[in-house]
Structure 1
């Protein structure tokens, strides 16, 4: 996560994963929430970087990116699971 240390990335990732979990009405554990939040933030920042040439910074920006990215990941996993 851009601009955040490891400890802050864990906290923001866990919070972002938890918020995305509630938005998408799923039930995951803490570790999966942290993973989804961190990977989701990296994914959404990469998308923003590709489209606009910049990414979101700071705690609030990374939290927003993590929530949106984690929702994208959860939707992709749900679509993959429904196919098989």
Structure 2
């Protein structure tokens, strides 16, 4: 069973907020949502294509993958921002 739009928003906000706290950043709700959703896409791509593990549904694994993807996104953005 896939996530509906509300599920993606909830996962995105939580994953973005957790990544923000772990990475020591300070963003607003909308930025956390965007970071979380993009992080979910990145984490899902890595999990499925590099690890061979499909991720989906409204569960802890999906949140963990989104969180790790969001942390990776914030890390990469931090590297780009430092170089600019």
**Does the pair score TM above 0.5?**
yes
The alignment covers a number of residue pairs equal to: 83
TM-score by length of 2: 0.91
1:1-84 matches, cutoff 5 A: 3-59=2-58, 60-84=60-84
List alignment gaps of at least 5 residues for structure 1.
none
1:52 deviates by 2.5
Instruction: Determine the C-alpha separation between the residues in 1 that align with 2:32 and 2:80.
Output: 19
Across the aligned residues of Structure 1 and Structure 2, the Cα RMSD in angstroms comes to 1.3
Contact 2:47 2:65 in 1 (8 A): no
TM-score by length of 1: 0.91
Q: Which runs of 4+ in 1 moved over 6 A?
A: none
